[in-house]
Amino acid sequence: MQALAARAESAVPLRANGQGILTYHMPKKRKPERHNLPMKMWFDPPSDIYIQGSVAVDPQAVVIGSNEAEFWLALRPKEMSSYYIGVWKDVQGFEGLMMSPRVVLEALGIVVEPAGQLNTALWSLENKGPYDILTRRDEAGHIIKRVYVYSCDYLVHKIEYYDRRGKLIAVATLGDYQPVTERFRVPTRIAVESIAPDKRKDSIKISLDSLKETKFNERQRRRLFVPPSPERFEHVYRYEDGRWVSE
């Protein structure tokens, strides 16, 4: 736990380019929709993330973002046109987004609480094959997630997320770690699969390249790490009491 906390503390601001493949199901349609997304990412640890994916002529067709207080997902392809926004302090477990800022942050190394806030009583450790497996529970003892750490390099290779009934609802697999600095490496292959109650699976696969340490000025922070206006979306949802409520 201390090693993962130290890794989180060694994270540096960065930017990257990439390519994403988004696969998702629409209501009343049997076949999934699929989009190839040229992507750009900006990351300012520990909490600020912004990813935009372009579809056709819209460079911000998909936006994933978060700051210290809030997180959001904006989907602008015409058949979706949905905006999700929530407050971190209201989230007890996995927030149930197809593309989650939490998953992206954890994929980039922010897996555990800061060392000063770490409650090791909520975590347990077991070993299985080449992995040390950390299991996180909530105060009531329900499993929230499992983190698979490869014993040889102590990098996170898989994260499983569970609902309050102990049902697996999302899996992130991480690989091909590349250095940004001598002390901080990030995965350049990220695959996230979410499992809906009807068993249908949505997924996003991200390949990153051109990783580069960077610095952000205040103008850039206001542009990247502030939630967008909901006015241009047909459907707006806010996270309340553990579920998404339509506004």
Written as one letter, the residue type at 44 is D
Q: Which helix (H) or strand (E) holds 168?
A: strand 168-179
- pLDDT above 60: residue 116: no
- Rounded to 5°, the CA angle 94-4-112 comes to 25
Q: Where are the domains of the chain?
A: 2-246
Token pair 């911000």: residue: 60
Greater model confidence, 93 or 81: 81
Where residue 9 falls among pLDDT bands split at 50, 70, 90? confident
2.40.50, 1.10.3470, 2.40.30, 2.50.20: which CATH number matches 2-246? 2.50.20
123-138 pLDDT per residue, tens: 999 999 999 999 998 8
pLDDT at 69: 93
Would you give the end-to-end CA distance of the chain in angstroms? Answer: 39
**Quick one: average pLDDT of 224-231?**
92
pLDDT at 29: 75
pLDDT at 215: 95
- As a whole number, the mean pLDDT across the chain is 87
Greater model confidence, 195 or 115: 195
- pLDDT above 70: residue 83: yes
pLDDT at 93: 66
Rounded CA-CA distance 212/219 in Å is 20
Rounded CA-CA distance 59/150 in Å is 36
pLDDT at 60: 84
**Quick one: average pLDDT of 31-56?**
89
- pLDDT above 70: residue 107: yes
**Residues 96, 83 contacting (CB under 8 angstroms):** no
What percent of the chain stands above pLDDT 70?
94
pLDDT at 208: 95
